[in-house]
Every structure is written in structure tokens, then in C-alpha cells.
Amino acid sequence: MNGRLKGKVAIVTGGASGIGQAFCLRLAQEGTAVAIADIADARETVDLIRRDDGVAWATRCDQTSPRDIEALRAGVTETFGAADILVHCAGIYPMQPFENISYYDWQRVMSVNVDSAYHLTQAFLPAMKDKGWGRIVCVASAAFHGGVGGCSHYVASKGALIGFARSLASEVGQYGVTVNLIAPGLVRTKTTESGIQQEQNWFEALRQQQCVKRVMVPADLAGPLAFLASDDSAFVTGQTLLVDGGWRFS
Ligand SMILES: NC(=O)c1ccc[n+]([C@@H]2O[C@H](COP(=O)([O-])OP(=O)(O)OC[C@H]3O[C@@H](n4cnc5c(N)ncnc54)[C@H](O)[C@@H]3O)[C@@H](O)[C@H]2O)c1
């Protein structure tokens, strides 16, 4: 353990798998008590953390539901105390050409990826302000910077998150709370392997367009998250940290 975040309490949405799981493992290594909020069973993440003597707790939480988020806030506070770090990682990325996107599809993506940031921040920001210390990290996407066809609702949702985080940063910096984003390029997770990978070899195409000539894995994002969650980044706020192996859009 590095212990850089000993005594802190973190909430990670989407921590049951993929990038969120890598975030949870790293935060626990840094000494954070980790609360995992996911609609899926997060037992695997909890077991991995406890196996290494870390501290973890998980609850089923749909981040589109204000009621679930209030239950999450109450559960975390009772279990560990008020949260210091909020990592808004859970998100969905259905691949659909624009003309196939129904208004329901559009709203669903916005609800899971963007409205959740509103509900989560409303729930967890007040205690951070009271403590005079807080870290909010949202997961955006490098796709926003170049645009990617076949998922315009998804890319729009990540752009909205960037606007939200930048604006919130300017309101809460005075209370010792920073708000930043990590924007990953394509990461190999179970979801990307079974979903967007299906029709074309995106991993290989992106690997060739990146400066770093290998496919990104969730652990590649853990260091940047640990930095943004720590005191080392106290003067960094409203920023989007692109972690994409130097992806060149072409
Ligand atoms: N994998 C990539 O290539 C990539 C690239 C850029 C950005 N991202 C972003 O990173 C984040 C994680 O992606 P991933 O590839 O690890 O995905 P993933 O599908 O492996 O994990 C997402 C997790 O979020 C959970 N989840 C989904 N909807 C939820 C809801 N309503 N409430 C609570 N939990 C919910 C899922 O159960 C799952 O455990 C997403 O926001 C995604 O947009 C991923």
C-alpha cells in the first residue's frame, strides 16, 4: 500500500467491473475506504480489496435513481463517515447510428451518464464543503475531443459532463474541493470487447493511431485517478486529463 489517501472515504460508481474496478483497487491500495455503488453485483471487487487487507463496502445503487443515491449517502455515512472523494465512473455507451437513436435511447444515455452527476454531486458535495476538502472526478471520454460516429448521444453526454465539471470547479474551489475529469481513449473491458468490438477491429485501429502502441487496459487509468484524488493535485481543477496513449484522430 502507498497510503497516500489513508483515512479518506471514496465512493466509486460502476466499481463492479472494468475501469471502475481498477479505480477501486487503486484507491484501496492508497489507504482509502472504498464504497462501491453499482447496479451489478460488486462482490468480486470487494473480495479483491479485502484479500489485500483493504477496506471496502458495496451496495446496489442505480445512479439514475435519486432514492438509491440517498440510500447510498446514508449507507456510506453510517459505514465509513462522510465521503471525501466521489468518482463518477458508471456509464453506458450503446453503439447506434444517429438515425436509429430513439428519443428514449437519447434520454437513457443522458440519464445514466449525465443526470447522475447532478444527483451524486447534490448528495455528496455538501459534506466535502463542510470538511474543506473534497475531490470529484468524472469519467468523460477522449471520443468527445475528436468526435466518433455511431454513438452521438454518448459523445454528447461526455461533453456535457466536461461542461458540468469545469463550471462546478469554479464554484467549489474556494471550499477546497476540486472537480476534474479523466477522458480515456479506448480501453479493453468486457463491455468494449463484447459490444463495440463486435463489428470492426477498433482495438487494432486505435492501437495504430496511438503514440503508445498497445491496447489500453483499466489499470492504465488507476494512476491518473490516484493523482486527481490526492493532495498532489490540490491546484489542479476544472481539467480534463486525456489518458489515451496519444491518440491521433485521423
Ligand atoms: N472502456 C472504454 O473504452 C471507455 C473509454 C472512454 C470512457 N469510458 C467510460 O468509462 C466508464 C466505465 O466504462 P467501462 O468500459 O469500465 O464500462 P463497464 O461496462 O465495464 O462498467 C460500467 C459499470 O457501470 C455499471 N452501471 C451501468 N449503469 C449503471 C447505473 N445506472 N447505475 C450504477 N451503475 C451502473 C455497470 O454495472 C458496470 O459495472 C464509462 O463511463 C465509460 O463511458 C470507457
- The count of other CB atoms within 10 Å of the CB of residue 127 is 17
Burial class (CB in 10 A: 0-12, 13-18, 19+), 8: buried
Is the CB–ligand 1 distance for residue 203 below 6 Å? Answer: no
CATH number of the domain to which 116 belongs = 3.40.50.720
pLDDT in tens, 205-237: 888 889 999 999 999 999 999 999 999 999 999
Task: Answer whether residue 203 is part of any domain.
Answer: no
Is the CB–ligand 1 distance for residue 157 below 6 Å? Answer: no
Mean pLDDT, the chain, whole residue set: 95
Task: Answer whether residue 2 is part of any domain.
Answer: no
Determine which residue's CA is closest to atom 7 belonging to ligand 1: 141
Domain count, the chain: 1
pLDDT in tens, 91-126: 999 999 999 999 999 999 999 999 999 999 999 999
∠ CA 237-242-246, rounded to 5°: 150
In 3D space, the residue among 93, 137, 131 whose CA is nearest the CA of residue 112 turns out to be 93
Determine which residue's CA is closest to atom 1 belonging to ligand 1: 187
Task: Give the position, in ligand 1's atom list, of the atom nearest the Cα of 68.
Answer: 32
Is the CB–ligand 1 distance for residue 139 below 6 Å? Answer: yes
Q: Which of 104, 118, 154, 175 is catalytic?
A: 154
Task: Answer whether residue 140 is part of any domain.
Answer: yes
Task: Give the position, in ligand 1's atom list, of the atom nearest the Cα of 15.
Answer: 39
Task: Answer whether residue 250 is part of any domain.
Answer: no
- Give the domain extent around 80: 9-185+218-243
Is 104 a residue of the active site? no
Task: Answer whether residue 147 is part of any domain.
Answer: yes
pLDDT band of 4, cuts 50, 70, 90 = confident
The helix (H) or strand (E) run that includes residue 241 is strand 240-243
Segment 12-25 shows an average pLDDT of 98
Lowest-pLDDT range of 41-50, 58-67, 198-207:
198-207
Task: Answer whether residue 211 is part of any domain.
Answer: no
CA distances (Å), origin 175, targets 13, 73, 81: 24, 20, 19
Distance of alpha carbon 101 from alpha carbon 45, whole angstroms: 33
Q: Is the pLDDT of residue 90 over 90?
A: yes
Residue with cell 474556494: 174
Task: Answer whether residue 180 is part of any domain.
Answer: yes
Task: Answer whether residue 75 is part of any domain.
Answer: yes
Alpha-carbon torsion (181, 53, 60, 73), positive or negative: negative
Distance of alpha carbon 245 from alpha carbon 210, whole angstroms: 5
Rounded to 5 degrees, what are φ and ψ at 50?
Answer: -70, -30
